[in-house]
Amino acid sequence: MELQKFFCMNGGSGDLSYASNCTIQSVIVSSTKAVRVNAVVEFYSTFFPENMIIAELGCSSGPNALFSAFDMMEAVEQRCLQLRRSPPEFHLLLNDLPANDFNTIFRSLPEFYQQRRRMESSGCGQFFVSGVPGSFYGRLFPSRTLHFVHSSSSLHWLSQVPLELQEKSNAPMNKGKIYLSKTSPTCVAEAYLMQFRKDFSLFLKCRAKEIVAGGHMVLTLMGRTRGSEPSWPEYSYMWELLGEALMDMASQGIIEEEKVDSFNAPYFSPSLEEVKQEIEREGSFSIRTLDLFEASWDAVHGSRQTKQEGAALGEITHAKRMAKGVRAVLESMLESHFGEGIMEELFSRYTSLLEGYYSRNEPQVTNIVIALTRKFEEENILRASVF
């Protein structure tokens, strides 16, 4: 699958759009606000730039990228008031793959600007926004231009399905499954881990070129707890149930079983240890924060996004909300492989399976939050001399 050509969250602002179904991502953004705000204020209080350039990687088409930017700018401006300094100008660079619906997020900017204007009396800096299409597993910005990088709920997506799983000459390595499961061979887990290591290392190398010395980066991605396997049910249940729905449809002749066997999700949830190893191996960043936290699907009812949607969403079950959220993220990928015609049937079955799972469990999303600082060149030279 050539992900860059078609992978994107559902665009627009309709019932099945990502903008209307990104509540769990909103909960995650809210949960990491303190880490994000502390990092951006620390950078400002150290270097006092007149212009702050902030990159949001994997911005998608929902409101969360602007929410996180608003929080960061407001925190810096509060710090400026304390120091009796004029606030800096802010330049927000919104990045996602070329297929992303940037227009929806741009259409929400007038309301965002209105909020900013209401704050002008309390010391509000100028604010500029640009879109930057492209993969963050490559260079996106000129060297040493970024002061702060933020990415939330994006880096668990790999640049591609591991090549070993794409081989068509042999029997499917992960037959009947669309992601890691308890029955997947060890070689499948190893292939996914190697792809994550390659991708995450490349991500760090590219950002090391683009971020100024002393600049900060805060990343949040789905992960798993210490010592656990990525195929454990608490981390793979969403994929397991989606695969079960697809196999049910294959058994009834609605889709071909070979189609299911040849589909593997370009996704990996690493452990803290796996993330730490790659950061230390690449060597350009100091780790300030590296923690796990849980986000509950139950919490979406109290999130900022859900409150804004209000009655428009209506009262729906947790499982239906989860299914719509998963559909908003995966539909483009599934359509490109299985075709558009099965989506309603697939997600109807998936919702039913989620209803059963939800009656027995309280679904949680395990996340990793990482705060990094770009080292100065002298630190890298010293590290090289030691090793």
Is residue 375 situated within a structural domain? Answer: yes
> What is the predicted pLDDT for the residue at 348?
97
Yes or no: say if 323 and 245 are a contact pair by the CB < 8 Å rule: no
Are 145 and 54 a contacting pair, CB within 8 Å? no
Q: How many separate domains does the chain show?
A: 1
Residue 10 lies in a domain: yes
Asked if residue 311 belongs to a domain, the reply is no
pLDDT digits (tens, 9 = 90+) for 210-229: 999 999 999 999 998 866 67
**Among 12, 7, 19, 3, CA closest to 325:** 19
DSSP-derived letter for residue 341 is G
Whether 303 maps to a domain, the answer reads no
Long-range contacts of 381-384 (CB under 8 A, 24+ apart): 383/283
Please tell me whether residue 38 adopts helix, strand or coil conformation: helix
Give the CA count within 13 Å in the CB-facing half-sphere of 307. Answer: 6
User: Considering the domain boundaries, does residue 309 fall inside one?
Assistant: no
Is residue 251 in some structural domain?
Answer: yes
Alpha-carbon span 23 to 301, nearest angstrom? 8
DSSP 70-118: HHHHHHHHHHHHHHT-PPPEEEEEEEE-TTS-HHHHHHTHHHHHHHHHH
Enter the DSSP assignment of 375. Answer: P
Quickly list DSSP for 175-208.
Answer: TT-SS--TTS-HHHHHHHHHHHHHHHHHHHHHHH
What pLDDT, on the 0 to 100 scale, is given for residue 183? Answer: 85
Q: Is residue 212 part of a domain?
A: yes
Q: What is the CA radius of gyration of the chain?
A: 21
**Nearest one of 351, 328, 253, 263 to 13, comparing CA atoms:** 328
Domain that holds residue 212: 3-298+316-380
Tokens of 59: 């911005």
Sign of CA dihedral 228, 233, 237, 242: positive
pLDDT at 307: 42
Per-residue pLDDT, 299 = 67
Q: Is residue 92 part of a domain?
A: yes
Q: Who contacts 161 (Cβ-Cβ below 8 Å, separation ≥6)?
A: 1, 195, 264, 265, 266
Alpha helices in the chain (DSSP H): 3-6, 23-31, 33-47, 64-83, 102-107, 109-118, 163-166, 186-210, 233-251, 257-261, 272-282, 304-309, 318-338, 343-360, 377-386
* DSSP bridge pairs for 53: 91
Q: Could you tell me the mean pLDDT of each successive run of 10 residues in the chain, 387 residues long?
A: 82 95 95 98 97 97 93 95 95 97 93 78 81 98 98 97 83 89 89 97 98 98 79 75 96 96 94 96 98 84 46 64 95 96 97 91 89 83 45
Confidence at residue 316, expressed as pLDDT on a 0 to 100 scale: 66
Give the CATH number, domain containing residue 44.
3.40.50.150
pLDDT at residue 378, rounded to an integer: 58
